[in-house]
Amino acid sequence: DSSSAGQEDDRERRGISERASLDKRALRRSFLDNLLYVQGKFPRLATKNDYYLALAHTVRDRLMQRWISTAAAYTTQCSRTVCYLSAEFLMGPHLGNNLINLGIYDVAAEVVGELGLDLEDLLYQEEEPGLGNGGLGRLAACFIDSLATLEVPALGYGIRYEYGIFHQTLSDGWQVEKTDKWLRFGNPWELARPEWAVEIKFGGHTEQYTDEHQRLRVRWVAARIVNGVPYDTPILGYHVNTANTLRLWKAEAPESFDFGQFNRGDYAGAVTQKIVSENLSKVLYPNDEQEAGKELRLQQQFFFVSCSLQDMLRILQIQRIPVEKFHEKFAVQLNDTHPSIGVAELMRLLVDEQLLAWDTAWDITCKSFGYTNHTLMPEALERWSLPLFQRVLPRHLEIIYEINARFLDQVRIRFFGDEARIARLSLIEEQGPRYVRMANLACVGSHAINGVADLHTELLKQDVLKDFYELCPEKFSNKTNGVTPRRWIVLANPRLTSLITETLGDGWIRDLDLLRGLESHIDDAAFVQRWQAVKRANKADLATHIERRLQISIDPDSLFDVQVKRIHEYKRQHLAALHIVALYCRIKANPNIEMVPRTFIFGGKAAPGYHMAKLMIKLITAIGDVVNFDPDVRGRLKVAFLPNFSVTNGQRIYPAADLSEQISTAGKEASGTGNMKFQMNGALTIGTMDGANIEIMEEVGKENFFQFGLLTPEVYAWQARGYRPQECYERSPALREVIDLIGSGYFARGDSSVFKPLIDVLLRYDPYFLLADFDSYVACQDEVSAVYKDKHRWARMAILNSARSGKFSSDRTIRQYCSEIWNVDKVPVRLLSQEDVEA
């Protein structure tokens, strides 16, 4: 029957990785060959990096056959394909993940071990591709992992930034940014495909002309052309043959341009032109949830989106699919509004270049795009000033006007006389200086709109996108975020992986709901003990790492209280700082007070221009500088700010956490995804009822979650009433003591000016309700400490958190996108033999 045939298939596919894992000798041969033939080194002269690259090439060789087989399967079957358009892909290092997905991690460890090397050491050689800021970029990375694992045909499209997110260092406790030259030592994971380069136009003007059928048409006469060159990285699924493609575009100057100017004698002009062109993919903008309105940023967005859409048209052509079937071949997802110019660009390509009728083109466009919104923060909503937009994309502005005119005609009929509504729905903001509203463009040009957690989707419908919801409620749905358990458990936490696999078998790695099986071991003393030992060992590792990096001693038996994420006022790292100061005040008032020892671990980058966020970092490090060395504290409090939080550092941190801090103001964090990584790795959460925290609490049960703070409707009510933070300050003696101590300059060698801007904002406006939530937070933290004293109870709660984290696998999220938005099925890949490939 078909199900046993399916199992047969499954077994056959999995057999491949098992065979590979048996092939240790071949792996060793290949590793040494690559050292010799790729690196040109023999062992005595080889550096650690040579060994890393030799191993990377060994793995890459094993990916190639799968990559080719996948491309062949999709091409011959003309498979429906997901195109995930994202300005950010925060991939993290590839080597470890590929070893795991190939099923050869342990063999590789043995092979390098026998040569006197340490695999982990080699893995740390890899410069991580930090082509993203935070949650949004990391979500894209988890999604392409899940798409490959679920064997769904997919392309990730983005920008190959030469400089990724800056490297953060600390100087006197202040953030200092260093450039991220991640390509410095080469990138073994990518292949340039110059044969598929495309031309991208900028600026200039438009002209009308009549074609041979006497039809009026428009032609865009650009001022400048830039080439987009694709760089492809294989994305291997877990224990499957599917290797999808991440296709990132690099901007290059077209050579013909240079030669023209060169021949006219303008050598410097030609070189300048080249530099200007290549600037396009030079650097990732380091703003997370803050729109800067920079012209180069709009150029970057248009650049990668136009490259990607032209690439899709090329794929249609080689598969001999008529352009009218674009939407049948591709499901194109917009990761936030950054790629939403794609709506206008696809219209331009279909109408101006493919010569389709407007209505046909519009139908195709709307059926192709889906739009994911990631934030409710008003300062993150993208708008482009009209003059700027006109200068960069004159043809697209005309197209947007046309889309808008047709759209508002329909709205006028539906909502007769409701001019205010029409003004709100318009793609153009008209009050004051005029802007193009990218979220409105994305909503109008997409057949599906989704938020990233239940609460967030509800708030979109009630608030930010209310008018669009009232117009087309059927377009809206929720897709709660998820993260990949391959990177965030198997790779990051090998000890926990072994324990779970020995307990349940390894099925959970592809089906995270199976973790529920851990619940029946909760009363098994031996299991609980092993669980505790895993956490203890992970904490000891992190303690060693922190001691080496920061020269502060850490007690692995203290409660590891962790907040790692971008630094932002709405995420309220400074609320955690206030709590630390409150505990410090208790000790100063009564040095013999009994207190559960805690290690507070922070990590995260501040946008370079976000002064308040940088001051928040300084506040945390300044508190650490006092608390860590005050003899009265007797080691009961330690504060460590780990510089340069990244995917790599996250992999060390999540597995070692006891407590996960998810303390954003209710209604501000769309979802959060770090919260899920902590939960999977057996940390308990202290959190507000915000984003996916709510769903985490639903899954684990109230009794296994530390909830505090105002609810979203309460925040709104306080806002409406006119919130006066000064009243909270006056009512709470503990809060007053904390604020006054910071304000006095106690943590700044007596200089009361340093933290004045931060304290002033809190006392006067407190836009994120820290003072309103302070007492509730401290009380909840006291409850945390009380529970932590009972180690056994804590362990049971931690096990239940992990056991109930199945919902937050990105596999679940991607299955929902596939069935509810993309309408796409899996296409299993059969491994082609050498002979097949060559034929």
Only segment of 33-41, 356-364, 670-678, 743-751 that touches ligand OX2 (CB under 6 A): 670-678
String marking each residue 677-696 x if it binds ligand OX2 according to CB under 6 A: --------------x-----
The DSSP result for 698-765, as a single string, is: HHH-GGGSEE-S--HHHHHHHHHH---HHHHHHH-HHHHHHHHHHHTTGGGTT-TTTTHHHHHHHHHT
**CA angle, 263 then 268 then 269, to 5°:** 75
- Closest CB to ligand OX2 among residues 680, 795: 680
* Cβ-based nearer residue to ligand OX2, 531 or 678: 678
Residue 288 CB, nearest distance to ligand OX2 (Å)?
6
Q: Which residues in the 350-379 window bind ligand OX2 by CB under 6 A?
A: 374-375
| Cβ 247 to ligand OX2 shortest distance, Å | 21
Say whether residue 569 binds ligand OX2 (CB under 6 A). no
Question: What single DSSP character describes residue 669?
Answer: -
Q: How far is CA 255 from CA 199, 299, 715, in A?
A: 12, 20, 57
- Dist. CA 148–CA 139, nearest whole Å: 14
Residue 394 interacting with ligand OX2 (CB under 6 A) = no
Angstrom distance (rounded) from CA 300 to CA 281: 7
Q: Is 579 a catalytic residue?
A: no
The 576-615 site mask, x for binding ligand OX2 (CB under 6 A), equals: ----------------------------------------
From the candidates 66, 138, 565, 614, give the one annotated as an active-site residue: 565
Catalytic one of 677, 685, 712, 813 = 677
Contacts of 200 (CB under 8 A, 6+ apart): 225, 226, 227, 228, 251, 302, 303, 306, 307
From the list 689, 779, 692, 705, the residue with the least C-alpha distance to 735 is 779
What token pair was written down for 754? 């340093």
Asked about 565 being catalytic, the answer comes back as: yes
Q: Which of 28, 57, 62, 374 is catalytic?
A: 374
Among 107, 270, 452, 633, the residue binding ligand OX2 under the rule CB under 6 A is 452
Using the contact rule CB under 6 A, the part of the chain among 76-84, 101-109, 409-417, 666-674 near ligand OX2 is: 666-674
* Three-state SS at 554: coil
Under the criterion CB under 6 A, does residue 291 sit at the interface with ligand OX2? no
Q: Which position among 62, 461, 566, 618 bears the catalytic label?
A: 566
Best CA proximity match to 355, nearest among 254, 224, 215: 215
Contact status: 146 vs ligand OX2 (CB under 6 A): no
Select the residue interacting with ligand OX2 from 139, 141, 491, 637 (CB under 6 A): 139
Using DSSP's 3-state secondary structure scheme, residue 337 falls into: coil
The answer to whether residue 135 forms part of the interface with ligand OX2 (CB under 6 A) is yes
364, two tokens? 């195709």
Strands (E), 124-181: 130-131, 154-159, 167-171, 174-178
Under the criterion CB under 6 A, does residue 725 sit at the interface with ligand OX2?
Answer: no
Q: Which residue is nearest to ligand OX2 (CB)?
A: 135
Cα–Cα distance measured from residue 205 to residue 377, given in angstroms and rounded to the nearest whole number: 35
Residue 336 contacts ligand OX2 per CB under 6 A: yes
Q: Which stretch binds ligand OX2 (CB under 6 A): 130-138, 262-270, 516-524, 696-704?
A: 130-138
Which tokens go with 5? Answer: 């045939």
Crossing angle of the two packed helices 358-368 and 394-414, in degrees rounded to 10: 90
Residue 74 and residue 234: Cα distance in Å, rounded? 14
Q: What is d(CA 284, CA 180) in angstroms, rounded to the nearest whole number? A: 10
Q: Which residue carries 């997901």 as its tokens? A: 82
Choose the binding region for ligand OX2 from 4-12, 17-25, 213-221, 665-673 (rule: CB under 6 A). Answer: 665-673
The yes or no reply on residue 288 touching ligand OX2 (CB under 6 A) is: yes
Angle at 544 between CA 541 and CA 545, to 5 degrees: 90
Task: Give phi and psi for 600, each to the nearest 5.
Answer: -95, 120
- Which of 672, 682, 687, 806 touches ligand OX2 (CB under 6 A)? 672
58 contributes a contact to ligand OX2 by CB under 6 A = no
Q: Determine if 289 is a binding residue for ligand OX2 (CB under 6 A).
A: yes
CB of 231 to ligand OX2, least distance (A): 24
Minimum CB distance to ligand OX2 smaller for 134 or for 237: 134
Strands 154-159 and 243-252: parallel
* Cβ nearer to ligand OX2, comparing 364 with 606: 606
d(CA 311, CA 49): 35
Least gap, CB of 94 to ligand OX2 (angstroms):
21
| Cα-to-chain-centroid distance, residue 136 | 4
Judged by CB under 6 A, the stretch of 121-129, 552-560, 667-675, 722-730 that binds ligand OX2 is 667-675
Total residues contacting ligand OX2 (rule CB under 6 A)? 18
Of 239, 383, 456, 571, the catalytic one is 571
Strands 637-641 and 598-603, by their bridges, are: parallel
The C-alpha atoms of residue 185 and residue 164 are separated, in whole angstroms, by 15
For residues 316 and 302, give the distance between their C-alpha atoms in angstroms, rounded to a whole number.
21
Q: Among residues 105 and 610, whose Cβ is nearest to ligand OX2?
A: 610
Give the nearest distance from C-beta 672 to ligand OX2 in angstroms.
5
Active site residue 673: yes
CB of 674 to ligand OX2, least distance (A): 8
826 counts as catalytic: no
How many residues comprise the chain? 839
Q: Closest distance between ligand OX2 and the C-beta of residue 612, in Å? A: 17
Binding track, positions 531-550, relative to ligand OX2; x by CB under 6 A: --------------------
Whichever of 289 and 661 has its CB closer to ligand OX2, that residue is 289
Q: Which of residues 479-518 bind ligand OX2 (CB under 6 A)?
A: 481
Q: To the nearest whole angstrom, how small is the minimum distance from the Cβ of residue 668 to ligand OX2? A: 9
Strands 81-85 and 330-335, by their bridges, are parallel
128-136, 344-352, 402-410, 614-622 -> range binding ligand OX2 (CB under 6 A): 128-136
Closest approach, Cβ 225 to ligand OX2, in A, equals 31
Q: Which stretch binds ligand OX2 (CB under 6 A): 132-140, 234-242, 515-523, 579-587?
A: 132-140
Secondary structure (H, E, C), 432-487? CCCEEEHHHHHHHCCCEEEECCHHHHHHHHHHHCHHHHHHCHHHEEECCCCECHHH
Write down the number of H helices and E strands in the chain. 35, 25
**677 has catalytic annotation:** yes
Our CB check for ligand OX2 shows the closer of 374 and 521 to be: 374
CB 713, min distance to ligand OX2, A: 19
Q: Does 669 bind ligand OX2 (CB under 6 A)?
A: yes
SS3 content of the chain, % helix, strand, coil (to 5): 55, 15, 30
Considering only the stretches 7-15, 129-137, 708-716, 754-762, report the one whose residues sit in contact with ligand OX2 under the rule CB under 6 A.
129-137
Which residue number, 55 or 147, has a Cβ lying nearer to ligand OX2? 147
Rounded (10°) CA dihedral 296, 302, 305, 306: -130
| Residue 783: its H or E element | helix 770-789
User: Which position among 283, 670, 700, 710 is part of the footprint of ligand OX2 (CB under 6 A)?
Assistant: 670
Nearest CB to ligand OX2, comparing residues 669 and 773: 669
Cβ(166)–Cβ(123) below 8 Å: no
Residues that are catalytic:
374, 565-566, 571, 673, 677
- The residues that touch ligand OX2, with contacts defined as CB under 6 A, are 134-136, 139, 288-289, 336, 374-375, 380, 452, 481, 669-673, 691
